[in-house]
Structure 1
Amino acid sequence: MTGWATGPASSPRIELLVAGHPRDVIVERQQRLDVAQNYGPAARDAGFYISLRGIAPSDSAALDEFLASVEVRADGVPLRSTASASRARRTITTLNIVGRQIGRVFGKRQDKAHADADFEQYVERPTRLAQQHGRELQAAHDATAKIRPNDILVFVTARNEMARIPYFLDFYRKMGVAHFLFVDNDSSDGLIDYLKLQPDCSVWHTKASYKASNFGVHWMNYLLGQFGVGHWCLTLDPDEFLVFPYCEDRNLHELVQFLDSEQRDHLFCILLDMYSDHRVSETIYSTGQNPLDVACFFDGVGYVQRENASFGETYVQGGPRRRIFFRENPSKAPAINKTPLVKWGPNYNYLSSTHMLSPRSANPPHPHDHLAPSGCLLHFKFLSLMAEKAKEEIERKEHYDDSIEYKNYHSVISQSRDMLFFEKSVRFKNSRQLCSLGFMTTGQWF
C-alpha cells in the first residue's frame, strides 16, 4: 500500500509524504537510548521511528531540502514533535551511521513504559551506580582545583602499575594532557605515594571490589561526571598509548579542535596488541622505558568486526589474544574496539569498559556522509610483567568471566607457548603506516 505502513497492532497508521507525494516507508519500533538527551525529557514518550533508508539522499544540501519537504501523519493527523529543534536538525541529529546511512524521522507516540525502561537502564541506572560506587573512593591527593576550562584530562584505574606509570605520564604530558585523575585500587607497590608527588595528578584510593564496580567503570563514570563534563577526556588503562593521524607533528589540542569543528564528540580507536619477537616471558621491561623499545610488533591480519553490534558500536576482535590465547574459542576473544577520547557531557556513561558508551550517538566511528578521524591504542600488555600479573589476577578473581582471560595468559606462558611473533607480524613505524594499513583514518583532517 503506497505511502503508508503499519507497525504492531497497537500502532497507528503512519504516512510519509515528500513534497506532498506519498512514499513507502517502514515503521521501526526501536527505542534510541539518547532520545531524552537529544530532544528533552518530554521526548521519552516517543515510541516509533520511520526508516528513511533508500529514500533520503546522502548529499548534505539535498538532504536539507528533502527534510524540509517531509510530512509525517499518524492516522491522518500530522505528527507533532519536540519543538526545541527544526525537523531537519532533529532528523540529522538522529542519524546513526556505522558505514552506511540509516536515517529516521522522529514521531511522537505514547509508549512511555518502553521509553522509560531504556532511559532507566542506559542513563539513570549507570549514573546512580556511579554515584553509589563513587562513595567508595577516598581522596588521597586532590589537585583538581588546578583544572582549567580547556584542559584535556586523563582518567585511569590502576593497581600495582608503578613500573608503567612514569613513562605513561611523560607520554601524555608531551601530547598535551593537563591533568591526570587516578583511582588506585589498593596498590602495594608504592604507586599512590608516587602519584601524590605529581603536581598534575589527583588520586583516589579504594579497597573496594574492582569486579563489583563493573571492572572500574562505575569509578571512572563518577570521576568523569564530577570533573570531566565539558572537557575532552581520555579514559585509559596504564598500558594503552594513543596514536592518531599526524600525532608525530600535532598534539591532542589540534586533534580535538578539528573534532570540535566537525561537531564530533568522540574518537573511535582500535586496540593494537603489541609484542616482541621473543617470548612474552623474555620481553623485559624497565621502569620509565618506552615500551615500543621492547615490543614493537602487531598482527597485520586476522581481524573481524560486526557493525552496529548492540548499541551503535563497531565490535572488533583480533590480534594475538584471538589468535593465540583464545584459539580454541575465538568468538570469546576480547573486544578491541574502544572509544577512549570523548568530550564528556551530562549523563554520559561508559557501559562496558570504553567499548560502549551512552548516549548511543557517541559510538559510531563515522558520521553518515564522510569518514571522521580515528585512532589506535597501542596496547603493551605482553611484557614480562604479565606472568606475575596473571597469577595475581587469577587469585583475586576480580576480572570478567572469572578472570578467564588471565587464566588463558597463565596457561600459555607457563607452557612456554608465549611466542606471539609470526610471519604476518608487522613492525610499528608511525601513524601514516597505520592509516595505510586501514587501522585508522585521517577523515577530512589534512
Structure 2
Amino acid sequence: MQYESLDDFLKTGRVALSKGPVALVFAEDDVELDGTLRHHLDLGFKAVIAFIPPEFTIQPEIAERVHHIVMRCVPRATVFDAVNRVIQAAPNVWMYYCYNSEYLFFPFCETRTVGELLAFHTEERRDAMLCHVIDIYADDLSAHPNGVAPDNAMLDSIGYYAHARHDAAGQPLERQLDMSGGLRWRFEDHIPFERRRIDRISIFKSRKGLTLLPDHTFNVAEYNTYSCPWHHNLTAAICSFRAAKALKSNAGSTFDIDSFRWPKSVPFQWNSRQLLDLGLIEPGQWF
C-alpha cells in the first residue's frame, strides 16, 4: 500500500506498527532498492515500511508486500526525524532501520526469523541490539563503477577496531565502544571524522521519550551498550554497499580510488556463518 507522506501513513496506516518487529528502509537512491526490500521481507519482519522518493519505483510483487511511504530521504536529518516520529507513534514495538543497499544478518538467520531473534533478546532483558555496519564492495570497479555488485561482492576479513567511548568529561562510558574498520578506515582521508564509526544501534524497542540521535545512538545510555553487565549478548551486522557508493560518487574521492580490493579482501558469502567466523557478529547465549 502506498501513502503520500509520513503524516498520511501515521493517520491511516498505523496498524502496520501494531506488532513488531517492523523494518524501516530509507531509499537515498534507487541502487539495489528491490534487493534490499526483498532481503528484509525474507527475514520475517511483520511489516516492511519503505520510504521512497516519488521518482523511484519498485517491482510490483515487492510493492504488494511493503508499506510504501513517498518521501525524500535527504538531507540525512530527514531519516532521523522520521524514525523518531515512528518511535513516538508506536511505543513498545521492536523496530529496525537501514538504508537501501544494506542487508541485515544475524546469527543463524538462514534458519531462524528476526522474530525468534528478538524473542530471545527480550528474554535477556535487552531493549536494543548493537549492529556493526560491515562494508561490502564490488570486486572490480571497471565492471561496477558505482562500487555495487551483489553477485561479486567483497569484504575486509581483518582491520576492525574497538575504541573506548567517553562522555563529555572524558570519562569512559560503561559497556559502550566506538567501532571502526572497513572502507571507512582504509579510506579515512575521504570520510568525515563523524562518519567513520561502524557501530549502529539499528535494532531497538521503541518507547515514549526515546530519541535516535544524529550519530546513530540513542538518548538512553543503556540502548547504546553492546551487552548486559553479566554476559555477552547477541549482535548483528548490516552488510552495506553505502560507503562504496559514497566513495565512488563523490568527486573528491572517486578519481583517487581505482579498486577497493586489498590483500585482506575476501568474497562475501551472503551468510551468517562467515560473519560469525570473522567475529563480526556475536551469538551470545543463543545456540
> 1:330 and 1:145, CA in 2 relative to 1: closer, same or farther beyond 3 A?
closer
Relative contact order higher in (CA < 8 Å, ≥ 6 apart) = 2
Does the 8 A contact of 2:138 with 2:150 survive in 1?
no
1:150 corresponding residue in structure 2: 19
Match of 1:307 among 161, 164, 170: 164
Aligned residues with identical type, % of pairs:
21
Q: Which AA in structure 2 matches 1:219? A: A
TM-score if structure 2 supplies the norm length? 0.82
Q: Report the residue type matching 1:210 in the other structure.
A: P
Q: CA–CA distance in 2 between the matches of 1:356 and 1:385?
A: 22
Q: Secondary structure at the match of 2:252?
A: helix
Q: 1:384 to 1:412 in 2, by over 3 A?
A: same
Question: 1:139-177, CA deviations, whole angstroms, 9 ceiling, x for partnerless residues?
Answer: 37976254274331112332432x422222211111111
Are positions 1:321 and 2:184 aligned together?
yes
Matching residue of 1:443: 284
In the TM superposition, what is the alpha-carbon distance from 1:436 to its structure 2 partner?
A: 2.5
- Aligned ranges 1:29-108 → 2 under 5 Å: none
Distance 1:439 1:376 in 2: 7
Q: Please give the per-residue CA displacement for 1:209-238, whole angstroms capped at 9, x wherever unaligned.
A: 625xx35211221122213x2211011111
1:234-245 to 2 correspondence within 5 Å?
234-245=96-107
Match of 1:439, SS state, is coil
Question: Which of 220, 223, 233 lines up with 2:83 in the alignment?
Answer: 220
Instruction: Please say if residues 190 and 247 of structure 2, whose CA atoms lie closer than 8 Å, have aligned partners that are also in contact.
Output: no
Distance 2:56 2:70 in 1: 16
Whether 1:338 and 2:200 are equivalent positions in the alignment is yes
Q: Distance in 2 between matches of 1:379 and 1:153?
A: 19
Q: After alignment, is 216-225 or 369-378 more displaced?
A: 216-225
Q: Which residue of 1 aligns with 2:260?
A: 420
Cα RMSD after superposing both structures: 3.2
Tell me by how many angstroms 1:333 deviates: 5.4
TM-score (structure 1 length as normaliser) = 0.55
Partner residue of 1:100?
Answer: none
Q: Distance in 2 between matches of 1:434 and 1:160?
A: 27
Shift of 1:360: 0.9
| Contact 1:154-1:181 at 8 Å conserved across structures | yes
| Unaligned segments of structure 1, at least 5 residues | 1-135, 391-408
Matched position secondary structure for 1:421: coil
Give the conservation status (yes or no) of the 8 Å contact 2:138–2:260: yes
Letter in 1 for 2:22: L
Tell me the equivalent position of 2:211: 349
3-state DSSP of counterpart to 2:218: strand
1-structure distance, mates of 2:224, 2:121: 15
1:198 pairs, out of 64, 70, 87, with: 64
1:318–1:336: 8 Å Cα contact kept in structure 2?
yes
Q: Paired residues, what number? A: 275
Instruction: Show structure 2 runs of 5+ residues with no match.
Output: 168-172
| Inter-partner Cα distance in structure 2 for 1:195 and 1:138 | 25
1:205 deviates by: 3.0
Question: Which entry has the higher C-alpha Rg, 1 or 2?
Answer: 1
Tell me, in whole angstroms, the C-alpha distance in 1 between the residues paired with 2:72 and 2:9.
Answer: 10
Q: Give the letter aligned to residue 139 of structure 1.
A: D
User: Which letter maps to 2:273?
Assistant: R
Query: For 1:263 and 1:444, how far apart are their aligned partners in 2?
Result: 13
Question: Helix, strand or coil: the match of 2:69?
Answer: strand
Secondary structure of 2:138's match? coil
